[in-house]
């Protein structure tokens, strides 16, 4: 079974930065698209960012565009989410997800993904 483990969450002040990591029990160069989602208390899980298996295609939610950057290091089987200019509304549990796909188009819906991590919490103080 594919296992994903997120890390890097924590408490930051508004305007600060964090980098989340997602380590996979797979070699991410072997045809797995990856994504980041988040869920705040009282809200539904929402899309944050996604990247194709090759890393040449990315997509971002409008709320994080220009502030967050998704990347991957297939040699380390790890996907990253660099979060800059954090806002209090970014506070949530962040989850990484994976699905076997070699499509160039990125996948931005929860139903597109098969494997999920346990999540890492991000709290942004005002």
Q: Are 49 and 106 in contact (CB under 8 A)?
A: no
Q: Are 100 and 86 in contact (CB under 8 A)?
A: no
Give yes or no for residue 27 having a pLDDT over 70: no
Write the pLDDT tens digit of every residue in 37-82: 999 999 999 999 999 988 889 999 999 999 999 999 878 889 999 9
Return the pLDDT at 105. Answer: 82
Return the pLDDT at 28. Answer: 58
DSSP 74: G
Return the pLDDT at 59. Answer: 97
């Amino acid at each position: 079974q594919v296992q994903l483990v997120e890390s890097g969450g924590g408490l930051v002040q508004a305007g600060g930065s964090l980098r989340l990591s997602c380590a996979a029990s797979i070699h991410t160069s072997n045809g797995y698209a990856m994504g980041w989602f988040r869920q705040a208390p009282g809200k539904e899980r929402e899309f944050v960012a996604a990247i194709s298996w090759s890393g040449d295609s990315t997509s971002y939610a409008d709320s994080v565009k220009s502030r967050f950057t998704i990347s991957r290091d297939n040699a380390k089987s790890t996907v990253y989410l660099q979060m800059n200019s954090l806002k209090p509304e970014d506070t949530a549990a962040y989850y990484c997800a994976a699905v076997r796909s070699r499509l160039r188009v990125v996948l931005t819906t929860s139903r597109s993904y098969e494997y999920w991590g346990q999540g890492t919490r991000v709290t942004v103080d005002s």
